[in-house]
């Protein structure tokens, strides 16, 4: 059976009066933390329990060893105010929950996307299908491989003036020189020079072309595709 303990706890308190002055150079959106009055400090309880303690039942850490710790609401006694809604940002909140920072980022992203579209050379969709195997719909981050797929998605997402781009096809590429260097690692000094890299490269290229499952398409932002409707509008 476990030994039962009734601890003898001596509770002492100290009232500490410290007077000091703190100077803070605050930026426009900064205010002194109201929780710690700018000290950057708060009282931590530092709770603990005593093994076998029978004086407290059901309370795991009934005792305290209070001391000072860093304020949990601020950094260095200063809090930041959200420039949009004015609410104070806690230490844990990297940005305000009103979405201000997110919206700013979103606006910047939208601007970049718009600029990218404006800069792209525009071709009609019939030409795009001649030039590209796959097209990219920027608005919804989707790749399409034929006209029907494209039309379906435009309809499904009700895209009015979709920003569609050509794509670049990426396949497996293995460099013959790398392979030879690797293979000649343990051979005599001039072994590399004795190998025909050109003929190996031809074999590797041929092999790479056949690995169609690995083919990857990435957007080619230099060419934008105009759909019939937006062509009429343009
Ligand atoms: Zn504070
Ligand atoms: Zn806010």
Q: Tell me what pLDDT residue 232 has.
A: 43
Give me the pLDDT at residue 139, please: 93
In the prediction, which pLDDT does 183 show? 93
**Would you call 137 exposed, middle or buried from its count of C-beta atoms within 10 A (0-12, 13-18, 19+)?**
buried
Same domain? For 197 and 125 the reply is yes
Ligand nearest to the CA of 24: 1
pTM for this entry: 0.54
Tell me, in angstroms, the distance from the centre of ligand 2 to residue 95's CA.
8
Nearest CA to 162 out of 172, 170, 151, 173 is that of 151
**C-alpha distances in Å from residue 205, one per residue of 3, 74, 198, 199, 213:** 77, 59, 11, 10, 15
CA of 112 to the centre of ligand 2 (A): 24
Q: In terms of domains, do 39 and 124 share one?
A: no
Q: Are residues 130 and 197 in the same domain?
A: yes
Domains: count for the chain: 2
Same domain, 144 and 70: no
pLDDT 10s digits, 188-224 = 989 999 999 999 999 999 999 888 888 899 999 999 9
Percent of the chain with pLDDT over 90: 70
On whether both 76 and 137 belong to a single domain, the answer is no
Residues 133 and 204 in one domain: yes
How far is ligand 2, taken at its centre, from the CA of residue 81, in Å?
8
Q: What is the mean pLDDT of each run of 10 residues along the chain (234 residues)?
A: 80 92 94 94 94 84 95 93 86 82 92 94 95 95 95 94 94 93 92 93 92 91 84 43
Residues 131 and 73 in one domain: no
* Same domain, residue pair 64 and 144: no
The torsion defined by the Cα of 220, 226, 230 and 233, in degrees rounded to 10, comes to 110
Residue 78 DSSP one-character state: E
- With respect to residue 147, please indicate whether it lies within any of the assigned structural domains: yes
User: 228 and 124 in one domain?
Assistant: yes
pLDDT averaged over the chain? Answer: 90
Q: What is the pLDDT of residue 1?
A: 61
Residue 24: name the closest of 35, 39, 43, 34 by CA: 39
How far is it, in rounded angstroms, from Cα 139 to Cα 202?
39
* Residue 105 located in a structural domain: no
pLDDT, position 148 = 95
Which residue in 124, 213, 195 sits closest to 166, CA to CA? Answer: 124
Of the listed ligands, the closest to the CA of 41 is 1
Residues 66 and 149 in one domain: no
Q: Which ligand is nearest to the CA of 89?
A: 2
Position 229 scores a pLDDT of 56
Q: pLDDT tens for residues 73-87?
A: 999 999 998 888 988
Structural contact between residues 234 and 165, judged by C-beta atoms closer than 8 angstroms: no
Are the C-beta atoms of residues 79 and 73 closer than 8 Å to each other? yes
CA of 44 to the centre of ligand 2 (A): 29
DSSP string, 17-49: -----------TTEEE-TTTTTSSEEEE---B-
Q: What is the distance between the alpha carbons of residues 45 and 6, in angstroms, rounded to a whole number?
A: 22
Which residue range forms the structural domain that includes residue 180? 120-233
Ligand nearest to the CA of 88: 2
Residues near ion ligand 2 (CB < 5 Å) are 82, 84-85, 96, 98, 100
In a domain, 92, yes or no: no
């Amino acid at each position: 059976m476990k030994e039962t303990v009734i601890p003898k706890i001596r509770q002492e308190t100290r009232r500490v009066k410290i007077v000091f002055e703190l100077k803070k150079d605050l930026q426009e959106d900064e205010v002194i933390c109201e929780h710690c009055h700018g000290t950057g400090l708060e009282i931590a309880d530092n709770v603990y329990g005593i093994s076998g303690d029978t004086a407290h039942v059901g309370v795991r850490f009934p005792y305290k060893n209070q001391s000072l710790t860093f304020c949990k609401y601020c950094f260095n006694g200063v809090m930041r105010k959200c420039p949009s809604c004015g609410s104070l940002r806690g230490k844990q909140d990297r940005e305000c929950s009103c979405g201000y920072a997110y919206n700013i980022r979103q606006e910047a992203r939208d601007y970049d996307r718009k600029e990218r579209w404006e800069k792209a050379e525009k071709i009609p969709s019939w030409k795009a299908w001649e030039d590209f195997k796959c097209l990219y719909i920027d608005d919804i981050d989707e790749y399409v491989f034929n006209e029907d797929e494209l039309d379906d998605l435009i309809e499904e997402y009700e895209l009015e003036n979709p920003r569609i781009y050509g794509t670049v096809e990426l396949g497996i590429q293995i460099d013959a020189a790398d392979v030879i260097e690797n293979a000649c690692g343990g051979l005599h000094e001039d072994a590399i020079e004795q190998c025909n890299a050109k003929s190996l490269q031809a074999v590797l290229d041929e092999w790479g072309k056949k690995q169609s499952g690995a083919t990857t398409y990435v957007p080619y932002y230099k060419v934008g595709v105009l759909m019939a409707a937006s062509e009429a509008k343009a």
